[in-house]
């Protein structure tokens, strides 16, 4: 893709307005990224994009690494501060920004990614080299660039399978408690399938020559629609996926499992003690926070 095509692509991605409740300072930052020509997209969880633009949840920005310098230059002129997460929420190719809108008093939280790192909760042990595929498939949603629905759905399927646990298999096979595929995952799959299809997912993955098990992903999407509690089938698909993406692991499977168990245990202890600081962040330069209540 040429620079002219990229510029045209970015311009076309902003033909729709932000939701009326969008935080003004956040909208101004996104406008500045467009004007500066920074190539980016909001690469996941776009079912909740409208909520994210109003500060109710975070935004995951995938930035073209070639534009990282321009991105940082834009940040200098906007009310955002770099934050340091706890060690348990630190992943490569990602940093956190906290923004503040002085007119409304609203905060917004940005997860800035230069790499697509994902996987099990607490671990994120896989790095998928699909950044350019995502950035090259931009469409518009709520005024901001997002990837094609097919690619977003494909990576959602990967995320869901990598997070599918042994105890989820037991719950699904015995049909007890909540399904192994959480309701928010199933809802997001349904939302994306309103905009694309399993066949489009297959076609886009094949065209992109993505390093993913295309048929396993498509089989998962069929199961998620029709029989989301098929524990044995989901377990087999998870195994096929893990074998295919083994070369994309950041670390070995056993160390990753140990990291997950330690983090889960720490989080459980904090929950029992009534502490909610597991994902607490602090300013890069240090300092303390002051809260006014009432």
Going by C-alpha positions, the residue among 224, 89, 104 that lies closest to residue 164 is 224
Whether 25 contacts 108, CB under 8 Å: yes
Full residue range of the structural domain in which residue 135 is found: 3-147
Please indicate, yes or no, whether residues 140 and 226 belong to a single structural domain of this protein.
Answer: no
Where the chain has pLDDT below 50, the residues are 2-13, 15, 278
Check residue 246 and report its DSSP letter. G
Distance from C-alpha of 241 to C-alpha of 235, rounded to nearest angstrom = 10
259: in domain: no
Distance from C-alpha of 215 to C-alpha of 220, rounded to nearest angstrom = 8
In the numeric block, the tokens 């033909």 are attached to 15
Identify the pLDDT of residue 9: 47
Check residue 262 and report its DSSP letter. H
Annotate 175-205 with DSSP letters as a single string: T-SS-SS-HHHHHHHHHHHTT--HHHHHHHH
Please indicate, yes or no, whether residues 122 and 30 belong to a single structural domain of this protein.
Answer: yes
Three-class secondary structure of residue 60 per DSSP: strand
Domain count, the chain: 2
**Count of residues making up the chain:** 294
Identify the pLDDT of residue 68: 97
221: in domain: yes
Whether 42 contacts 145, CB under 8 Å: yes
Please indicate, yes or no, whether residues 164 and 77 belong to a single structural domain of this protein.
Answer: no
Please indicate, yes or no, whether residues 173 and 159 belong to a single structural domain of this protein.
Answer: yes
262: in domain: no
Identify the pLDDT of residue 3: 47
20: in domain: yes
pLDDT in tens, 161-188: 998 988 899 999 999 989 999 999 999 9
Check residue 17 and report its DSSP letter. P
Please indicate, yes or no, whether residues 39 and 138 belong to a single structural domain of this protein.
Answer: yes
> Taking the CA of residue 201 as centre, how many other CA atoms within 13 Å lie in the half-sphere pointing to its CB?
29
Q: Tokens for 99?
A: 């923004």
271: in domain: no
Please indicate, yes or no, whether residues 156 and 130 belong to a single structural domain of this protein.
Answer: no
Annotate 124-143 with DSSP letters as a single string: --EEE--HHHHHTT-EEETT
Whether 60 contacts 108, CB under 8 Å: no
Whether 147 contacts 138, CB under 8 Å: yes
Please indicate, yes or no, whether residues 159 and 139 belong to a single structural domain of this protein.
Answer: no
């Amino acid at each position: 893709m040429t620079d002219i095509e990229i510029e045209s692509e970015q311009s076309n991605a902003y033909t729709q307005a932000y939701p009326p409740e969008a935080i003004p300072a956040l909208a101004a930052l996104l406008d500045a990224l467009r004007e500066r020509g920074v190539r980016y997209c909001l690469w996941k969880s776009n079912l909740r994009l409208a909520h994210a633009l109003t500060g109710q949840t975070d935004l995951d920005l995938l930035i073209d690494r070639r534009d990282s310098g321009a991105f940082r230059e834009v940040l200098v002129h906007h009310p955002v501060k770099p934050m340091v997460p706890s060690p348990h929420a630190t992943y490569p190719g990602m940093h956190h920004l906290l923004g503040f809108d002085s007119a409304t008093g609203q905060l917004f939280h940005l997860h800035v990614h230069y790499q697509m790192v994902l996987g099990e909760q607490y671990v994120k042990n896989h790095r998928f080299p699909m950044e350019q595929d995502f950035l090259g498939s931009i469409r518009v949603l709520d005024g901001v660039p997002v990837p094609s629905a097919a690619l977003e759905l494909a990576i959602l399927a990967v995320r869901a399978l990598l997070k599918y646990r042994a105890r989820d298999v037991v719950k699904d096979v015995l049909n007890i408690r909540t399904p192994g595929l959480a309701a928010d995952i199933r809802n997001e799959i349904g939302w994306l399938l309103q905009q694309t299809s399993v066949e489009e997912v297959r076609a886009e993955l094949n065209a992109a020559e993505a390093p993913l098990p295309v048929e396993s992903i498509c089989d998962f999407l069929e199961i998620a629609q029709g029989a989301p509690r098929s524990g044995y089938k989901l377990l087999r698909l998870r195994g096929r996926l893990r074998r295919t993406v083994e070369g994309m692991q950041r670390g070995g499977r056993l160390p990753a499992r140990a990291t997950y168990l330690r983090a889960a245990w720490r989080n459980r202890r904090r929950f029992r003690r009534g502490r909610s600081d597991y994902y607490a962040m602090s300013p890069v330069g240090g300092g303390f926070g002051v809260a006014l209540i009432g």
